[in-house]
Chain A
Amino acid sequence: MLGDAPGPGRVSNPFATRFTRPGAIPPLDDEGGPLDVASLFERAMSAGPVVVIEGAHGTGKTTLLVALLARAAANRRRMAFVRAASVADAWTVAAAIGGASRDTVIGLDGGERLPVGAFTLVRVLARLRGVVVLATTHRPVGLPVLARCRSTPRLLAAVVGHLPTHGGRIDGSDINEAFGRHGGDLREALFDLYDRFERRDGRG
């Protein structure tokens, strides 16, 4: 929990990465309500060894994944996080699962970047090692789906509501415009709002 003011004569841009990155705000459903992370975590543990969080770019998959890993840590489970940035990272992912100790919860971000068929290997390795893999992906991969993330203007408005104050520099039309301009990608929409805030911060 972060408290107190940012400082003398300096206004923090509430749309900066430090306030919007996964883990900085709680995961929300597509209407902006709180997600029951504890319940989702229990479902993931019973549905494993591999479950996926599906959704397009910037719909909150990584935010949910980070919250689930935090839940794992709070439950005193070992956890690990691995991000697939390209097809070549399939080996990194395999090594992370193959080297994990039993009962580890592994967060795999960017699963859509792995080659076709990689999830078969992930599932086999996870079962062999006795670990649970929570993976984000843009498309169906034939594995149990824990959550389908979807963005809406109301979700973006709710995210903005969780950020530090913007001091009235951003209004509802900004939020709707940013959402529409970036096709519902909340990450890009928040960058858009960052720029709008800067323009109206009295330094333009």
Chain B
Amino acid sequence: MTAAPDPRPLAPHVFVQFCHGEREYEPLDALTVRYELQGLGDEELQAVEHSVLWYTEGKGEEDMGVHFFERIVDRDRLPAAAVTRSFATDLPSSPLSYEGVIVKIRWCVRVRLFFTGGRDFVSEHVFTLGRLPPARMPVSEAS
């Protein structure tokens, strides 16, 4: 007996390698990123975007800022599966990464894949900028 094919599209995987293995950067550091796409299956890529951005994460309104962005639509430049691409940028001086309680500031490398069928896939890889100490919750677990 043969199992029925799974109708769900394959989940691609984006392997990202930072020039600092621990993913910790200081303001104005140079950031170089190499990434590799896997699990694309038979789906054809229409475009790839890679960016470096920060965003807030918390209970309230969200904010974000894009520091570096590149969109690749040229068919000859689109990364094929298992082919490594890279890009580089100098990081800014702020905002610094922050692990707050109500709000956090996260920096990340985002790789977004657009397929010809209309589907897209986003892969985010967080790194830290600066060395702000994390905030702490009050000790009591009041409820």
Contacts of B101 in A (CB 8 A): 198, 203
The one of B58, B119, B122 that contacts A16, using a Cβ cutoff of 8 Å: B58
| Interface membership of B139, Cβ < 8 A | yes
- What are the interface flags for A2-15 relative to B under an 8 Å C-beta threshold, 1 for contact and 0 otherwise? 11111110101101
The one of A6, A15, A21 that contacts B124, using a Cβ cutoff of 8 Å: A6
| Interface membership of A81, Cβ < 8 A | no
Q: How large is the interface on A (under 10, 10 to 19, 20 to 34, 35 or more residues)?
A: 20 to 34
Kindly state the separation between the CA atoms of A203 and B133 in the bound complex, as whole angstroms.
11
Contacts of A12 in B (CB 8 A): 57
Tell me whether B134 and A7 are in contact (CB under 8 A).
no
| Interface membership of B123, Cβ < 8 A | yes
Q: How large is the interface on B (under 10, 10 to 19, 20 to 34, 35 or more residues)?
A: 35 or more
Tell me whether A10 and B143 are in contact (CB under 8 A).
no
CB distance from B72 to the nearest CB of A (A): 19
Tell me whether A18 and B57 are in contact (CB under 8 A).
yes
- What are the interface flags for B37-66 relative to A under an 8 Å C-beta threshold, 1 for contact and 0 otherwise? 000000000000000000101111110000
Kindly state the separation between the CA atoms of A191 and B99 in the bound complex, as whole angstroms.
17
Tell me whether B136 and A203 are in contact (CB under 8 A).
yes
Kindly state the separation between the CA atoms of A100 and B104 in the bound complex, as whole angstroms.
39
Tell me whether B13 and A8 are in contact (CB under 8 A).
no
The one of A1, A7, A17, A21 that contacts B127, using a Cβ cutoff of 8 Å: A7
Tell me whether A1 and B121 are in contact (CB under 8 A).
yes
The one of A5, A8, A13, A203 that contacts B128, using a Cβ cutoff of 8 Å: A8
B107 — nearest CB in chain A belongs to which residue? A7
The one of A1, A2, A194, A204 that contacts B59, using a Cβ cutoff of 8 Å: A194
The one of A1, A7, A177, A191 that contacts B122, using a Cβ cutoff of 8 Å: A1
Kindly state the separation between the CA atoms of A7 and B107 in the bound complex, as whole angstroms.
10
CB distance from B3 to the nearest CB of A (A): 24
Q: Contacts A7-B23, A7-B127, A203-B101 given; 17 further ones with Cβ under 8 A? A: A1-B119, A1-B120, A1-B121, A3-B11, A3-B13, A7-B126, A8-B126, A10-B99, A10-B106, A10-B126, A16-B58, A16-B104, A18-B55, A191-B59, A194-B59, A198-B137, A204-B139
3 A-B pairs with least C-beta separation: A7-B126, A204-B137, A4-B123
A–B complex contacts, Cβ < 8 Å, 13 sampled: A1-B120, A1-B122, A2-B123, A4-B14, A5-B125, A7-B23, A7-B126, A8-B23, A10-B106, A12-B57, A18-B55, A191-B59, A204-B137
- Chain A residues proximal to chain B, CB less than 8 Å: 1-8, 10, 12-13, 15-18, 21, 177, 191, 194, 198-199, 203-204
- Chain B residues proximal to chain A, CB less than 8 Å: 11-14, 22-24, 55, 57-62, 99, 101, 104, 106, 108, 119-128, 134-139, 141, 143
